[in-house]
Amino acid sequence: MVWEIGLPLPFAASVPDHPTEAELAEACRRGNVRAFERLYQLHSARMKSLAFHLLGSRADAEDTVQEAFLKVCRAAHGFEGHSSLSTWIYRILINCCYDAIRKRQRLAESPAPPDFRAETNVPLKVALQRALSALNERQRMVFLLFEVEGLRHSEIAAVLEVPEGTSRSWLFEAKSQLKRLLTEAAK
Amino acid sequence: MKFECGDLDRAMANSDLLPEAREHFKTCAACRREYRLWNEISATARELHEEWDTPALWPAIRETLQAERKPEVFWWKQWKTWAIAAALAIAVAVPLGLWRHSQATRTTAPTTPDFLTEQALREVETSEAAYRQSIEKLSKLAAPKLATASSPAVVNEKERLSLLDSAIAETRANVASNRFNIRLQTALADLYRQKQETLHEILNHDAKN
């Protein structure tokens, strides 16, 4: 049984107050602040990382995670459990990130994507980070969720509300595109 | 099937083709390099996960939540708290009130119509003293007649005096613990009056006969 997105079962079992996602979800639905704190402890690190890659700065990532968490806490009483709690909070986070990106675009603050082709001999990590910005939204999202944050295709499919096969297909597209960009940059 | 460079993408999407692709890599450096890069992308991607401490983030979220919740907590949602507070208030107020009431009746003059003022009490006690003096005099005068009572009427009055004496003693005991109680004082005065009248009747009875 998958207890939480990407979290090993022993870690979940070390939470005696909320040993199952159902119990945690129920406690959150009742507005239990300790349950929200537990949820934060379980997911905030991955949420911050994902937001950082989507928004490009730690400060913006923190603001967005805070906003996403507040939305989760405010809406938890209406959480009906159609998806898992973790899927639900990642979906809220991604929507918050898109809102932040749209707001930034309206204010014309968005910097131009870096031209990674201009530099050669940069470490692969740096080149990859820059190449990511050249991917389209869905490719970048699936790549970040699968390769960077370690979610499974079934989990990504639930978060993005697409079939699992679509998630696999988008990941292949993303990696093909990255490989092409990185190969060209190396030439 | 003969694996060619153009089949590389299909091999990356479909792991079933990988054994043939690996054979091809032995002779094709370009495909080998591309495949290595494909795997390196996944390996390097893991390093892109960012972690940093944000000790103020959860407290900020919690404070915002608490600030938002405060106005939503209506008094009727806290009925248990109110019920406990009311029970505590009653538990403290009732004994305190009773104690204060008992203290007040012992030491100070109440002002309600059921109780006497200090001045009225003094007047009542003066009257009582006068009654008792008068009764003592009458009792002395009536004592010989009562001691030799023979007629049924005098014996009857003697029994009545005995009942009045015990009633007076009981009422006086009550008055002693509640001096300002107007009902008790009135009852005591009435008993004295009855005893006085009874003694008069005993003395007059002999004169009539």
**Is residue A126 within 8 angstroms of chain B, CB to CB?**
no
Please name the residue that has the structure tokens 């990185």.
A182
CATH of the domain at A137: 1.10.10.10
**Is residue B67 within 8 angstroms of chain A, CB to CB?**
no
Residue A6 has pLDDT above 50, yes or no: no
Kindly determine whether residue B12 and residue A65, on different chains, have CB atoms separated by under 8 Å: no
B68-109 residue pLDDT tens: 876 555 555 667 777 888 888 888 888 888 887 777 666 555
**Residue A23 and residue A67 in one domain:** yes
Domain ends where: A93, A111, A129?
Answer: A111
Question: What pLDDT is recorded for position A89?
Answer: 94
Rounded to a whole number of angstroms, the distance between the first and last alpha carbons of chain A is 46
Question: What pLDDT is recorded for position A32?
Answer: 86
Predicted complex ipTM: 0.81
Q: Within 13 A of A83's CA, how many CA atoms are on the CB side?
A: 18
For B93: left if phi > 0, alpha if psi spans -120 to 50, otherwise beta; the answer is alpha
Residue A2 has pLDDT above 70, yes or no: no
A122-177 residue pLDDT tens: 688 888 988 998 999 999 999 999 999 999 999 999 999 999 999 999 999 999 99
Contact indicator for B184, B197 with CB cutoff of 8 Å: no
For chains A and B, count residue pairs whose Cβ atoms are closer than 8 Å.
81
Q: How many domains does chain A have?
A: 2
Average pLDDT, chain A: 83
Q: What is the mean pLDDT of each run of 10 residues along chain B (209 residues)?
A: 79 79 87 87 92 94 84 61 82 82 64 68 81 85 81 80 85 82 82 85 69
**Residue A24 and residue A66 in one domain:** yes
- B48 vs A33, A48, A125: nearest CB: A125
Kindly determine whether residue A48 and residue B50, on different chains, have CB atoms separated by under 8 Å: yes
**Cβ neighbours for A64, distance < 8 A, ≥ 6 positions apart:** A51, A55, A93, A96, A97, A100
**Residue A19 and residue A89 in one domain:** yes
If pLDDT is split at 50, 70 and 90, which confidence band does A16 have?
Answer: very low
Kindly determine whether residue B44 and residue A128, on different chains, have CB atoms separated by under 8 Å: yes
**Residue A50 and residue A97 in one domain:** yes
Quote the tokens at residue B185: 């004082």
**Residue A15 and residue A107 in one domain:** yes
**Is residue B75 within 8 angstroms of chain A, CB to CB?**
no
Residue A112 has pLDDT above 80, yes or no: no
A39-70 residue pLDDT tens: 999 999 999 999 999 999 999 999 999 999 99
Residue A104 has pLDDT above 70, yes or no: yes
Domain ends where: A111, A127, A150?
Answer: A111
Domain ends where: A92, A111, A130?
Answer: A111
- A179 vs B38, B58, B66: nearest CB: B38
Give the 3-state secondary structure of residue A7: strand
Kindly determine whether residue A66 and residue B47, on different chains, have CB atoms separated by under 8 Å: no
CATH of the domain at A77: 1.10.1740.10
Question: What pLDDT is recorded for position B81?
Answer: 75
| Amino acid residing at B173 | A
**Residue A88 and residue A117 in one domain:** no
Residue A97 lies in domain: 1-111
Residue A19 has pLDDT above 70, yes or no: no
Is the pTM higher than 0.90? The answer reads: no
**Is residue B42 within 8 angstroms of chain A, CB to CB?**
yes
**Residue A106 and residue A174 in one domain:** no
**Residue A71 and residue A96 in one domain:** yes
**Residue A100 and residue A181 in one domain:** no
- B42 vs A62, A125, A147: nearest CB: A147
**Cβ neighbours for A25, distance < 8 A, ≥ 6 positions apart:** A79, A81, A85
Question: What pLDDT is recorded for position B1?
Answer: 65
If pLDDT is split at 50, 70 and 90, which confidence band does A15 have?
Answer: very low
**Residue A105 and residue A120 in one domain:** no
**Residue A66 and residue A157 in one domain:** no
Question: What pLDDT is recorded for position A115?
Answer: 45
Rounded-to-integer distance, Cα B50 and Cα A125, Å: 12
In chain B, which residues have their Cβ closer than 8 Å to the Cβ of A124? 40, 44
**Residue A51 and residue A77 in one domain:** yes
